[in-house]
Amino acid sequence: MSAMTEPQGIWVYAVAEMVLDASLGELTGVSGGPVAALSAAGLAAVTEQVPLAEFGEAALHRNLEDLDWLEEKARAHHEVIDAVAQQQPLVPMRLATVYHSEEGVTELLTGRSRDFRALIDRIRGRREWGVKAYAAPPPADREKAGQAAAPSAKTTGAGAAYLNRRRHERSAQEESRQAAMISTADIHDTLAGLAMAYRLHPPQAPQLHGNKQPMLLNAAYLLDDERADDFAAVVQSLAADHPSVRLDLTGPWPPYSFAELPELTPAGEPS
Amino acid sequence: MTSQPGKPARRAAAPVEGRVVRDPEVPGPRLALVDLLDRVLAGGVVVTGEIVLSIADVDLVAVSLRALVTSVSALDGPVPVAQQIAREVGS
């Protein structure tokens, strides 16, 4: 309605080989509008017209600091990408990629068509899976073990016994932390061996993941679709083999963690 | 000890031919926001050019995580970490 009067930008979700407008069905985008395909150079961008009042530079600076706004847009962005990714290989764009004009999007497709094609070929028939590893919670019988392994407690004072026990607990904790780190490295090696590629995200902060134990691994693996079931089974059996860690599998995800175009040369041309 | 994948693998198992359909009545299991932000803010293609907000100008991840940490500890953290530390030191 007001699309003609209000300044608009173009939010870009993803780039694929070809997307028919009709195939975008009833998807609604980040601003609640229809999602449309924009084609050039034999590629198609999945896009939406968005009002710059909400998605312009100043507005984005402000809104990205607002968690409710961020969550809503992140989920809407993902919903569109995920729905299209069910149908065909695509290259997701970073959240909040907004062009001033359709021409800008067209230039992107034209200028980087070779790179986009290479990326699409790389992710064809593959999806991203996430594996997070946490240190396992301390075993319930640690207290008991600590007492049993402090034989000097009887012959020394209560204070010394307490210190002994504390020392023992602490070294047991350190040992189990170390075991967890070694296990995590093993687990990642095994999983990376099954994947086409992997990417290590920084472990999430405890306030964010809400788990009492620290996160030791926050990895993304790019997997052939045929291997997805095997991969899940391997994660299960690794979890069983490594009691010092707790594993969490998520996915399949669109290939967010593997969507990276090669750097442009200083001249601004694709190398 | 694996959790269910964040989304059903083939949610649109039988989509209408050639159409991408999202049924708002049947939401998938809700993705953890942190996992999603890991991907949409640190993944995806970064472009330069005629865009509204250059990613080079502003580190989206830092900006958003600041928003996230602030509001998580303000809203539902049992006790903000800083206070916890203060309490332990004080006692």
CATH code linked to domain A127-140+178-257: 3.30.70.2690
d(CA A126, CA A234): 18
All CATH 3.30.70.2690 domain ranges in chain A, comma separated: 127-140+178-257
In this predicted structure, what is the pLDDT of residue B18? 41
A51 touches chain B (CB under 8 A): no
Q: Beta-strand (E) ranges in chain A? A: 8-16, 36-40, 43-51, 90-92, 98-99, 126-135, 197-200, 215-224, 245-253
pLDDT tens-digit readout, B39-80: 998 899 988 777 888 765 556 666 666 666 665 554 443 433
Report the pLDDT value the prediction gives residue B29, as an integer from 0 to 100: 56
Dist CA B35 CA B61 (whole Å): 13
Specify the pTM. Answer: 0.78
Of residues B3, B60, B81, nearest to A95 (C-beta): B60
Cis status, amide bond into A214, omega within 30 of 0: no
Q: Which of B50, B61, B63, B73 to mutate to test the interface with A (most CBs of A within 10 A)?
A: B50
- The string of pLDDT tens digits covering residues B5-48 is 444 333 333 333 344 444 444 444 568 888 998 899 889 998 87
The ipTM of this complex is 0.84
> Chain B contacts of A259, Cβ < 8 Å?
43-45
| Secondary structure (3-state) at A106 | helix
Smallest CA-to-CA distance from B20 within A255, A21, A94 is with: A21
- What pLDDT, on a 0 to 100 scale, did the predictor assign at position B22? 41
CA distances from A254 to A77, A127, A232 (A): 12, 6, 17
- C-alpha separations of A268 from A12, A102, A103, A139, A265 in Å: 21, 20, 17, 57, 5
How far is the C-alpha of A118 from the C-alpha of A12, rounded, in Å?
Answer: 19
Q: How far apart are the first and last CA of chain B?
A: 38
Degrees, nearest 5: CA angle B84-B86-B88: 70
Radius of gyration, alpha carbons of chain B: 20
What is the token pair recorded at A73? 């847009």
Neighbours of A61 (CB within 10 A): 13
Q: What is the pLDDT of residue A193?
A: 97
pLDDT for A23 equals 79
- Chain B hits for A67, CB-CB cut-off 8 Å, are 67-68, 70-71
pLDDT at B70: 63
- Across the interface, do B47 and A108 touch by the CB < 8 Å criterion? yes
- Which residues, given as ranges, of chain A have pLDDT below 70? 1-4, 139-156, 265-271
Residues 38-67 of B with CB under 8 A from A: 38-53, 55, 58, 60, 63-67
**Residue appearing with tokens 């609604």:** A28
The pLDDT of residue A235 is 97
Q: Does A77 touch chain B if contact means CB atoms closer than 8 Å?
A: yes
- Does B85 touch chain A if contact means CB atoms closer than 8 Å? no
Q: If you count residue pairs, one on A and one on B, with CB atoms under 8 Å apart, how many are there?
A: 197
pLDDT at A151: 52
Domain positions in chain B: 33-90
Contact B45 A204 (CB under 8 A): no
- Residue A36 corresponds to which tokens in the numbers above? 């449309």
